[in-house]
Chains A and B, each alone.
Chain A
Amino acid sequence: MKKKGTKHTAPVTQLPKCATGIQGLDEITGGGLPRGRPTLVCGGAGCGKTLFAAEFLMRGAAEFNEPGVFMLFEETEAELKANVASLGFDLAGLVRRKKIVLEHVHIERSEIHETGEYDLEGLFVRLNHAIDSIGAKRVVLDTLEALFAGLPNEAILRAELRRLFRWLKDKGVTAVITAERGREQLTRHGLEEYVSDCVILLDHRVNNLIATRHLRVVKFRGTLHGTNEFPFLIGEKGISVLPITSLGLKHKISNGRVSTGIPQLDTMLSGRGFFRGSSILLTGTAGTGKTSVAASFAQAAAQRGERVLFFSFEESPYQIVRNMQSIGLRLEPLVKRGLLRFHSARPTLYGLEMHLATMFTEIAEFRPAIVIVDPITSLLVAGADFETKGMVTRLIDYLKGGQITSLFTSLTHGGHALQQSEISMSSLMDAWLLLQDFEGNGERNRVLYVLKARGMAHSNQVREFLISHRGIDLVDAYVGPNGVLIGSSRVAQVAREKAEALTNRQETARRKRELARKRATVEKQIAGLRSECETEEWELRRVNEHMDERTRGLTTRRLELGGLRQSPRNANSRPQPTNKK
């Protein structure tokens, strides 16, 4: 028994499954359709029943080596070949290699005349012959209900159908039977009555002018299965079902970093940029420079030699290339070198699933290291809110699984709280940068801050975001007593501060000079005083000398007088006479 991938924790005795190979369906059904039993696929006109059946058969033949028989009641072999060829299947080749037998059963009621008892042994014989001729394991009957239109006797037909399904089971083939959706029951002719093992309902609904196909496993006896309605689409590579709710959180992670292409922004993210394989949300109102940041990121990555895939839902590739040239980003050479690829589409071009499928295809083909979606909000118009979230979840999971770094820009509308519309999306994101517009002083200024960045230290500061012809520049916003200043007021403030600083310097110089002058004055005064003092000292000395001389002179004179009075005895012992004088 072939099983594809790892499945849920299923009991060992699980029903044997037959992998369809249809993208996503095997996930929902836990491995495929019930092996050896018939499965009923019902749905309205144009919801892809025949294609579903054809893909089941062709993938079985091509991928699982299980040959198949396609019994057509409505189309001819040539018609079917042409139809599936346009979807990328080489049915003719499979038929040539005897992997598939096409058996067209033509019934025309008007050609048939009923004359008594009969049965549908002819159908059995044909089917049996076809199965045995290639050893088929899979059978498709598309659409058995044509028998109801072709054969007049419904009683015989119903009895024979019951026998047919029994016979198919006994034959051990995995069968897919398609049927038209009925008004009150699953199928128009109540075929579900006979096929009780597995019923898959396909539906094609138009919502907001956009048609979306949905698939639901109504019944799957003996097994767990996803019961939700899953959107599916018919793309270039067949059907893909998008099992949004069966997502895993088992990505490998990387410690590697990717530069944002803006050095200052890297600095804000602990110096090295985003984690590789992380998902980054970039929100902002109109004209805040989201695309410019995204383009810088893209350019930096491409210049490092990494492949970048840019999904643009607003601008054409040429427009982006031209516009980014004005801010100094040269994207064209990178496009030419095959490192940067643009994929532009209008969001309303097709439904959400189709967008998602196209993106998957592009990603699988280009194998980028970085994917940019600009803006993810445009896709909101292509689907309901919850669908978009589911789609983004799916996309992020897919990208993370492949370790692809993804950057989503998101347009927030003015007037709303900035975080509001992203609530549903932000929880899916690893890093969130917010670009904001500030209006004041007759101008608008952009600021950027890192709202969150899982698993890394990041700056909590607002940076002013400048877009010039040299590219993007982040400037520290002025945070002062007057609040956060940006734009010209920041420049004015900076100028003011410069002027103030100059004044301060000049004042200091003046004070210094003053002080020097004062010092000089004081010193001069000190010198004057000192010289005065010296003069006085000198004079004092002179007076003293004079006094000494006088004293000496007096003494001499007294001695001389004493000598003259001839009283040498009393000359020294009698000082009184001087006092008396």
Chain B
Amino acid sequence: MKTKTTGPRLTKPKDPRPKLWQLRLYVAGQTARSLTAFSNLKQICETHLKDRYRIEVIDLAKKPQLSKGDQILALPTLVRKLPVPVRKIIGDLSDTERVLVGLDLRAPPREKPMVKAEHNGVLF
């Protein structure tokens, strides 16, 4: 499944996998959207990163001061702290394909050239 959409012009999937994925999910209160986001994330991690991930949920409604560190604007936001580079994914994570691309678990679809992703890494 991971290599299903990989085309010839895409780079090789990142093989040297880090030992642990550190993910941080920012939400504000127990809203329907935040619950959806959490369950979506849980499911994706179970599927692709089994036993290699750790999810930290931060409720900004309780700890608003934590919003500054990761420059949180939209909610919910998923931040991939490890492996570097840091990635940010906003929304309720219902679009699994995009989440996988965002987490760098899958190469982006055709309309997004790879250069962009490389560029991101360099920038951050």
Contacts and interface: CB of A to CB of B under 8 A. Distances in A.
Interface residues of B, number: 38
The 10 lowest CB-CB distance pairs between A and B, nearest first, are A113-B102, A129-B64, A116-B91, A116-B94, A122-B72, A121-B75, A115-B91, A116-B92, A118-B91, A115-B98
A126 interface: yes
Contacts of A129: 64-65, 67
Main secondary structure on chain B at its contact with chain A?
mixed
A113 B89 contact: yes
Contacts of B98: 113-116
A534 B39 CA distance: 169
A315 interface: no
B71 interface: yes
Contacts of A107: 71, 73
A206 interface: no
Interface in A108-139: 108, 110-123, 125-126, 128-129
10 contacts: A108-B123, A110-B123, A113-B87, A115-B90, A116-B98, A117-B91, A120-B75, A126-B68, A129-B64, A150-B73
Given A107-B73, A129-B67, A122 B26 contact: yes
A110 B119 contact: yes
A477 interface: no
A103 interface: yes
A320 interface: no
Main secondary structure on chain A at its contact with chain B?
mixed
A144 B73 CA distance: 12
A122 B75 contact: yes
Contact of A126 (B64, B93, B94, B101): B64
B92 A126 contact: no
B54 interface: no
Given A115-B98, A121-B75, A122-B75, A128 B87 contact: no
A122 B74 CA distance: 5
B116 interface: yes
B33 A125 contact: no
Interface in B39-98: 40, 60-61, 64-65, 67-68, 71-77, 86-95, 98
B111 to A, nearest CB: 13
Interface in A478-519: none
Given A115-B92, A129-B64, A122 B73 contact: yes
Central interface residue in B40, B90, B92, by most chain A CB within 10 Å: B90
